[in-house]
Amino acid sequence: MENDSRTDHKSDTTENLKAEIKRLHSLLDHEKEVNNRYKDIVHSSPSLIAFLKGEELVIDIANKAILDNWGKGDAIIGKPLMKAIPELEGQGFYELLMKVYHTGEVVQAYEMPGTHLVNGVKKLDYFDFFYQPQRNLQGKIEGVGIIATNVSAQAELHNQLKESELKLRQLIDFMPHKITIADTSGNSYYFNRSWQEYTGLSMADLVKQDRSKYVHPKEKEYVKNCVKQALTTGEDLELEMRILDKNGNYKWHLTRGIALRDKVGKIINWVSSSTEIQKLKEDERKKENFLKLVSHELKTPVTSIKGYTQLLTSILAKNKEAKVKNIPMSAYLGRIENQVERQIRLISEILDLSRIEENELEFNKQEFVLNELIEETVQDIRHSNIESTSIIISNSLNCNVLADRGRIGQVLVNIITNAIKYSPDKKEIFINIEKEKENFVSIKVKDSGIGINENELAKIFQRFYRVGAQNEGTYAGFGIGLFLSNEIIKRHGGSINVESTFGEGSEFTISLPYIN
């Protein structure tokens, strides 16, 4: 029995041993498998991977990607790095590897240039890389691991970008215009050389300085509002302002700003250019003074012609049918008076224009019945209207206004005579006086004339603006009337608006505050 049990024990131990050996085998197989898998990953990786052993940095492991990159074949495995690839000398790689080996610190670099001989040909590449210390089980550094990526294409692109940015900056710097770049809140962080030369300040000083320091006090508020408007709406900016130079003189500039946007249309920053227009402004001022002088000189004789014509008309009034050698004197004098009246109006417009620009247009405000003024104005126009267009007035509101009677009359004459002038088919003109919003009366002047294109509507209130060159010869005028009318009405707290359909007619609406 005892023998039997010994035999059993022996066979048990053998079985155990066999099982243990089998387990160890499978463990070894597993480890081999894992090792192979790692090797596969390392060797098939597109990253450049190598392990350098010992102080001599002997190439112990190098994957296909790094061998291809070095361009010396796999015979270099087992050789010290600096012997295998001597051209690396002096490019900084060796020093970094030794630093990792001696200090154990990880080194990381981006787009580091490296020249090497690939199959005998010199090649410049750029690398992103990690150098990592490799330690044994006791923690002692045995070598250095390299994981790198060849980023030459990306680095080339960056270099090209840097170069073109440099060229652009040089171009901007040497432009005679003053260029600034500002962030989305309007704070300028770049001023080109022209700015620095003009103000005598460095870029840093200009960046620190508030814009209001170099803008003329008279334009400060205006500039502030224009900038605010552009920043809130994202619309282009265009304004004229005087900018202080290094000698303490203000010079006129035309400033334009645009928002630069990203792909989805979000504003990234603002670029503005300021061009000096001092000489233009001076010339413009000279021309204006000349016009003012000429108009003044012309007005005196014309006014006296009008006086004599009126005198003759009143003398002839007693004998309306009087004829000198068959010429109907009264009718002809009437025509002369109309023409002189027109001429006086044109000359007065030019004089008013310079007055308004110099802020010299004075208003003599008094209370009067608006409807009466409209009636009178229309009577006068009817009297001198040789085209005999019919003008129909309807009053749904009777009201008083506190305004300059003469100036409001001038606006009415301008708008009603325009309605006649730009209605060559002489259709009727309707004038409606009605209540608008609270305390505002509107005078609507509607014609069925040539009409105005939609894109011209806002422009007709600009100084000297006349629609279409084809109208120039057809309809007499300077393009000042609506500008003046608009300024006059604005200064009375009102506004003028227009609605029109090209070819069908226009409706001008004058809105004014009324008293009762």
Residues in touch with ligand ADP (CB under 6 A): 414, 418-419, 422, 447, 449-452, 460, 465-467, 471, 477-483, 506
3-class SS at 229? Answer: helix
3-class SS at 226? Answer: helix
Report which secondary-structure segment, H or E, holds 27: helix 2-44
Give 172 or 351: the residue with its C-beta nearer to ligand ADP.
351
**Within 13 Å of residue 329, how many CA atoms lie on the same side as its CB?**
17
* Smallest separation, CB 442 to ligand ADP (Å): 16
* Smallest separation, CB 456 to ligand ADP (Å): 7
User: Which two three-digit tokens encode residue 485?
Assistant: 């009318």
* Smallest separation, CB 492 to ligand ADP (Å): 18
Q: Give the list of residues 6+ apart from residue 243 with CB closer than 8 angstroms, or none.
A: 178, 198, 199, 214, 215, 216, 250, 251, 253, 274
* Smallest separation, CB 374 to ligand ADP (Å): 17
* Smallest separation, CB 498 to ligand ADP (Å): 8
Give 190 or 461: the residue with its C-beta nearer to ligand ADP.
461
Give 174 or 478: the residue with its C-beta nearer to ligand ADP.
478
Q: What is the rounded distance in angstroms from the CA atom of residue 512 to the CA atom of residue 285?
A: 33
**Exposure of 450 by Cβ count < 10 A (0-12 exposed, 13-18 middle, 19+ buried)?**
buried
Question: Torsion-angle region of residue 56: left (phi > 0), alpha (psi -120 to 50) or beta?
Answer: alpha
CB 181 within 8 A of CB 189: yes
Residue nearest to ligand ADP (CB): 477
CB 309 within 8 A of CB 340: yes
* Smallest separation, CB 461 to ligand ADP (Å): 8
Give 252 or 483: the residue with its C-beta nearer to ligand ADP.
483
Give 201 or 445: the residue with its C-beta nearer to ligand ADP.
445
* Smallest separation, CB 469 to ligand ADP (Å): 11
CB 52 within 8 A of CB 152: no
* Smallest separation, CB 463 to ligand ADP (Å): 9
* Smallest separation, CB 254 to ligand ADP (Å): 24
* Smallest separation, CB 290 to ligand ADP (Å): 20
Give 180 or 354: the residue with its C-beta nearer to ligand ADP.
354
Give 231 or 480: the residue with its C-beta nearer to ligand ADP.
480
Give 106 or 458: the residue with its C-beta nearer to ligand ADP.
458
Give 219 or 349: the residue with its C-beta nearer to ligand ADP.
349
**Residues facing residue 21 across a β-bridge:** none
CB 443 within 8 A of CB 399: no
Q: What is the rounded distance in angstroms from the CA atom of residue 341 to the CA atom of residue 335?
A: 10
* Smallest separation, CB 335 to ligand ADP (Å): 21
Closest of 414, 413, 409 to residue 364, by C-alpha: 409
Give 116 or 446: the residue with its C-beta nearer to ligand ADP.
446
Give the largest Cα separation in the chain, rounded: 175
In the chain, the N- to C-terminal Cα span, in Å, equals: 137
Backbone angles phi, psi at 316, to 5 degrees: -75, -15
Q: What is the rounded distance in angstroms from the CA atom of residue 463 to the CA atom of residue 479?
A: 6
Q: Given the DSSP bridges, would you call strands 440-446 and 505-513 parallel, antiparallel or unpaired?
A: antiparallel
Give 253 or 446: the residue with its C-beta nearer to ligand ADP.
446
Taking residue 20's Cβ as centre, other Cβ atoms within 10 Å add up to: 10
* Smallest separation, CB 361 to ligand ADP (Å): 16
Q: What is the rounded distance in angstroms from the CA atom of residue 381 to the CA atom of residue 408?
A: 15
Q: What is the rounded distance in angstroms from the CA atom of residue 407 to the CA atom of residue 365?
A: 10
Give 481 or 494: the residue with its C-beta nearer to ligand ADP.
481
* Smallest separation, CB 466 to ligand ADP (Å): 3
CB 52 within 8 A of CB 60: yes
Q: Give the list of residues 6+ apart from residue 118 with CB closer than 8 angstroms, or none.
A: 69, 70, 71
**Within 13 Å of residue 296, how many CA atoms lie on the same side as its CB?**
8
Give 402 or 457: the residue with its C-beta nearer to ligand ADP.
457
